């Protein structure tokens, strides 16, 4: 036996010191308050326009030097280099104005609505609530800061974020909107149809609302509508054949009816009739082969993601008491590789001990602008139905599961959005996928994509599988690796609205 080389044996671990020096690219940061952390991030970032939202501008702020970022990713402990900024203009008279034609501000050729303070605050509170409620594995971007700025402070902030040319255009339009008077159309007392309305200036002062949140990395995440669209595009060549066979079948059938109407036929026409009959058989067979059965239109992967999204929407309702309210596929981001989530550190210590599940799919909800509180009487029915499902995932009977999920889906779907409109009153393509009352919410009008009613058993079975595998995952997550358990608690940003 080889003698053991003492000098090469594993060094003993030094006892932990309170003030630990860190190597690598994680810098020890002194404690800093939310506002200062935000300002420092803005001061040291470059901004670009990321998307044009329907209620504001979505910017991406990339930090130039990570030492000015006080935000860290939960899983890796690495500093956050990219954040999303949602900017909108707030006017408290906005909601009081005519609903059908709310006053808008001009952003180049686009018209953006003014938002009421309460709507702006509500969106933040709900998103924050959802992040807190799903803290081990958040199902929405984590908000790191939010604020409403007066005109002077807005000017300073807009100055800081508009260094490049494209951004200066945004600054220009927002500055103009912030300093202009807005008029609402009012019907004078005793108003009769057809009579003149009057324009009354808004009492409220315009302000700039800003939400800074986790950037859901577009190299890893994609919007569900984009995924569906690419599968639909892939189907389109097959659909061309479908159209060809369908019209040939129609022609052959017409030919038969014309020839039959002639009665006794000469030999050559008799052959033609036989030929048409054979064609009818062939085209019918080809069509049957081309037309996919229900559940075969989209890949299993895509159908799975759609079912994961259904479960995430139910989870939100159950954990927060709010419905998302605007769950069209454009507000659902999906990934095969989950993004680590952002936390503000509350001490200089770092690194949060969650195991990595980087090979798993993930669904993230964004845009809580239409979220609404579930009325108490509805929630008191929904809560026990779903609690029973979550508590008995491993043992629940399939029919019982199906019934409970179906009931929950309808309860959530029937809660109106916060603008009081009902989800079922919108065109099917927006929200009906949730109840399964339309096979494909994004499909073109074509017999290939038939309207279906309800969710298939296969999809319910998929949902049960998803919940079961997630449960085994979360029981792993609640047992942090030994030796990491003494890490400090994490602090999430809490808005003061
Ligand atoms: N946190 C985020 N990470 C990545 N992309 C985002 C994020 N928030 C918004 N987006 C992108 O910006 C678009 C508009 O944002 P959204 O919050 O849906 O605004 P709106 O209320 O105007 O629809 C989204 O469809 C998405 O593509
Ligand atoms: Mg949206």
pTM, two decimals, is 0.81
Q: How far is the CA of 135 from the centre of ligand 2 (A)?
A: 23
Helix crossing, 300-320 with 224-261: angle to 10°?
Answer: 130
Q: pLDDT tens digit string along 236-290?
A: 767 777 788 888 999 999 999 999 998 888 999 999 999 999 999 999 998 888 7
What is the per-residue pLDDT for 486? 34
* Closest atom of ligand 1 to CA, residue 53: 22
Ligand 2 geometric centre to CA of 120 (Å) = 14
Mean pLDDT of 128-154: 88
Q: What is the pLDDT, as a whole number, of residue 108? A: 87
Under DSSP, is residue 442 helix (H, G, I), strand (E, B) or coil? coil
For 422-436, the pLDDT digits (tens) are 999 998 889 999 999
- Four-point Cα dihedral 370, 376, 382, 388, nearest 10: 130
Return the number of other C-beta atoms located less than 10 Å from residue 380's C-beta: 10
Which ligand is closest in space to the CA of residue 54?
1
Give residue 445's pLDDT.
Answer: 60
Task: Find tokens 């001490």 and name the residue.
Answer: 347
Provide φ and ψ at 180, rounded to 5°: -105, 155
Mean pLDDT of 337-350: 44
Which residue has the least CA distance to atom 11 on ligand 1?
A: 51
What is the structure's pLDDT at 274? 94
Burial readout 119-147 (b: 16 or more C-beta within 10 A, e: otherwise): bbbbbbbbbbbbbebbeebbbbbbbbbbb
How far, in Å, from the CA of 429 to the mean position of ligand 1?
A: 19
pLDDT at 345: 41
Q: pLDDT at residue 233 above 90?
A: no
Higher pLDDT, residue 105 or 476 = 105
Q: Pick the more confident residue, 356 or 453.
A: 453
pLDDT higher than 50, residue 23: no
Instruction: Determine contact, residues 344/77, Cβ cutoff 8 Å.
Output: no
pLDDT of 42: 93
Phi, psi dihedrals of residue 5, rounded to the nearest 5°: -85, 105
The confidence score (pLDDT) of residue 2 equals 41
Which of 68-82, 229-243, 295-309, 390-404: highest mean pLDDT?
Answer: 390-404
pLDDT tens, position by position, 204-216? 889 999 999 999 8
Checking if the pLDDT of 480 tops 50, the result is no
Q: How confident is the model at residue 183, as a pLDDT?
A: 86
Model pLDDT, residue 327: 96
The residue whose CA has the least distance to atom 15 of ligand 1 is 53
Indicate the pLDDT class of residue 18, thresholds 50, 70 and 90.
very low
pLDDT recorded at residue 315 = 97
Q: What backbone torsions phi and psi does residue 45 show, to the nearest 5 degrees? A: -125, 160
Distance CA 54, CA 104 (A): 11
Q: What is the pLDDT of residue 293?
A: 67
Is pLDDT at 441 greater than 70 in this prediction?
Answer: no
Highest mean pLDDT among 110-124, 225-239, 390-404, 444-458: 390-404
* Residue that has been written with the tokens 């890949």 in this structure: 299
Q: Check pLDDT > 70 for residue 8.
A: no
pLDDT band at 497 (very low <50, low <70, confident <90, very high): low
Contact 362, 216 (CB under 8 A): no
Per-residue pLDDT, averaged over 172-177, amounts to 92
CA dist 287 and 89 (Å) reads 54
Asked if residue 112 lies in contact with residue 105, where contact means CB atoms within 8 angstroms, the answer is yes
Q: What is the DSSP letter of 144?
A: E
Instruction: Specify the pLDDT at position 432.
Output: 92
Task: State residue 490's pLDDT score.
Answer: 55
Q: Is the pLDDT of residue 151 over 90?
A: no
Nearest to 61 by CA among 76, 71, 53: 71
Among 204-218, 398-412, 438-452, name the one with the lowest average pLDDT: 438-452
Task: For residue 338, name the pLDDT band (cuts at 50, 70, 90).
Answer: very low
Q: Which whole number is the average pLDDT over 96-101? A: 56
CB count in 10 Å sphere of residue 208: 23
Residue nearest to atom 14 of ligand 1 (CA): 53
Give rounded-to-5 percent helix, strand, coil for the chain: 40, 15, 40
| Residue 477: per-residue pLDDT | 54
Is 286 exposed, middle or buried, given 0-12, 13-18 or 19+ CB atoms closer than 10 A? middle
Compute the average pLDDT of residues 460-484: 72
For ligand 2, a single-atom ion, which residues have Cβ within 5 Å?
Answer: 331, 367
Range of weakest confidence among 75-84, 90-99, 406-415, 455-464: 90-99
Q: How many angstroms does the Cα of residue 395 sit away from the middle of ligand 1?
A: 38
CA of 392 to the centre of ligand 2 (A): 34
DSSP letter assigned to residue 46: E
Instruction: Quote the CA–CA distance of 166 and 163 in Å, as a whole number.
Output: 9
Q: Please check whether residue 443 is in contact with residue 232, taking contact to mean a CB–CB distance below 8 angstroms.
A: yes
Q: Are 174 and 399 in contact (CB under 8 A)?
A: no
Which atom in ligand 1 lies closest to the alpha carbon of residue 367? 17
3-state helix/strand/coil string of 464-483: HHHHHHHHHHHHHHCCCCCC
- The C-alpha atoms of residue 81 and residue 44 are separated, in whole angstroms, by 11
Tell me the range of 15-29, 154-168, 217-231, 365-379 where mean pLDDT is highest.
365-379
With 0-12 / 13-18 / 19 or more C-beta atoms within 10 angstroms meaning exposed / middle / buried, residue 353 is middle
Pairing of strands 207-214, 82-90: antiparallel
- Taking 50 as the threshold, does the pLDDT of residue 30 lie above it? no
Question: Which tokens in the block code for residue 268?
Answer: 């050559």
Burial 184-197, CB ≥16 within 10 A → b, else e? beeeeeeeeeeeee
* Average pLDDT in the chain: 81
User: Where does ligand 1 bind, in terms of residues with CB under 6 Å?
Assistant: 51, 53-55, 58, 84, 141, 213-216, 223, 330-331, 366-367, 369
* CB 347, CB 301: distance < 8 Å: no
| Residue 210, beta-bridge partner list | 87, 147
pLDDT of amino acid 265: 87
pLDDT at 24 over 60: no
Higher pLDDT among residues 355 and 234, named by residue: 234
Determine the pLDDT at residue 287.
83
How many secondary structure helices (H) and strands (E) does the chain include?
A: 11, 16
36-81, pLDDT tens digit by residue?
Answer: 889 999 999 999 999 888 889 999 999 999 999 988 877 677 888 9
What confidence tier does 132 reach under pLDDT thresholds 50, 70, 90? confident
Q: In the predicted model, is pLDDT for residue 3 greater than 50? A: no
* Contact indicator for 372, 416 with CB cutoff of 8 Å: yes
Are 31 and 346 in contact, with CB atoms under 8 Å apart?
A: yes
Rounded distance between C-alpha atoms, residue 337 and residue 359, angstroms: 5
């Amino acid at each position: 036996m080889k003698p053991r080389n003492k000098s090469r044996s594993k060094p003993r671990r030094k006892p932990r010191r309170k003030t630990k020096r860190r190597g690598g690219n994680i810098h020890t940061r002194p404690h800093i308050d939310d506002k200062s952390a935000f300002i420092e991030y803005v001061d040291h970032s470059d901004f670009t326009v990321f998307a044009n939202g329907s209620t504001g501008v979505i910017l991406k702020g990339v930090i130039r030097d990570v030492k000015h970022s006080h935000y860290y990713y939960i899983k890796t402990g690495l500093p956050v280099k990219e954040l999303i900024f949602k900017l909108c203009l707030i006017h408290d008279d906005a909601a009081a104005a005519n609903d059908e034609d709310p006053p808008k501000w001009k952003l180049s050729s686009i018209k953006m609505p003014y938002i009421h303070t309460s709507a702006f605050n509500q969106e933040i509170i709900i998103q924050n609530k959802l992040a807190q409620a799903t803290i081990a594995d958040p199902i929405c971007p984590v908000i790191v800061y939010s604020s409403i700025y007066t005109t002077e402070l807005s000017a300073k902030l807009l100055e800081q974020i508009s260094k490049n040319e494209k951004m200066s255009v945004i600054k220009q339009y927002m500055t103009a909107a912030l300093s202009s008077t807005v008029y609402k159309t009012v019907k004078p007392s005793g108003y009769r149809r057809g009579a003149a309305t009057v324009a009354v200036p808004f009492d409220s002062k315009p302000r700039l609302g800003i939400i800074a949140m986790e950037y859901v990395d577009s190299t890893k995440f994609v919007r569900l509508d984009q995924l569906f669209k690419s599968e639909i595009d892939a189907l389109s060549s097959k659909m061309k054949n479908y159209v060809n066979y369908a019209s040939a079948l129609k022609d052959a059938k017409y030919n038969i009816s014309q020839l039959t109407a002639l009665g006794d036929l000469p030999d050559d026409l008799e052959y033609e009739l036989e030929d048409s009959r054979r064609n009818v058989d062939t085209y019918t067979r080809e069509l049957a082969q081309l037309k996919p059965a229900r559940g075969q239109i989209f890949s299993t992967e895509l159908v799975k993601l759609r079912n994961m999204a259904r479960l995430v929407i139910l989870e939100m309702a159950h954990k927060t008491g709010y419905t998302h309210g605007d769950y069209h596929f454009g507000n659902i981001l999906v990934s095969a590789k989950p993004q680590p989530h952002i936390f503000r550190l509350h001490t200089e210590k770092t690194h949060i001990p969650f195991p990595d599940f980087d090979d798993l799919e993930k669904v993230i909800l964004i845009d809580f602008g239409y979220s609404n509180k579930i009325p108490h009487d509805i929630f008191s029915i929904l809560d026990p139905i779903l609690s029973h499902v979550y508590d008995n995932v491993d043992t629940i009977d399939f029919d019982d599961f199906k019934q409970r999920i179906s009931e929950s889906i309808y309860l959530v779907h029937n809660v109106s959005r916060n603008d009081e409109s009902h989800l079922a009153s919108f065109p099917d393509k927006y929200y009906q996928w949730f109840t399964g009352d339309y096979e494909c919410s994004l499909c073109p009008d074509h017999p290939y994509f038939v309207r279906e009613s309800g969710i298939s058993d296969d999809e319910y079975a998929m949902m049960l599988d998803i919940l079961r595998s997630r449960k085994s995952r979360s029981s792993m997550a609640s047992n942090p690796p030994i030796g990491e358990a003494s890490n400090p608690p994490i602090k999430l940003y809490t808005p003061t609205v």
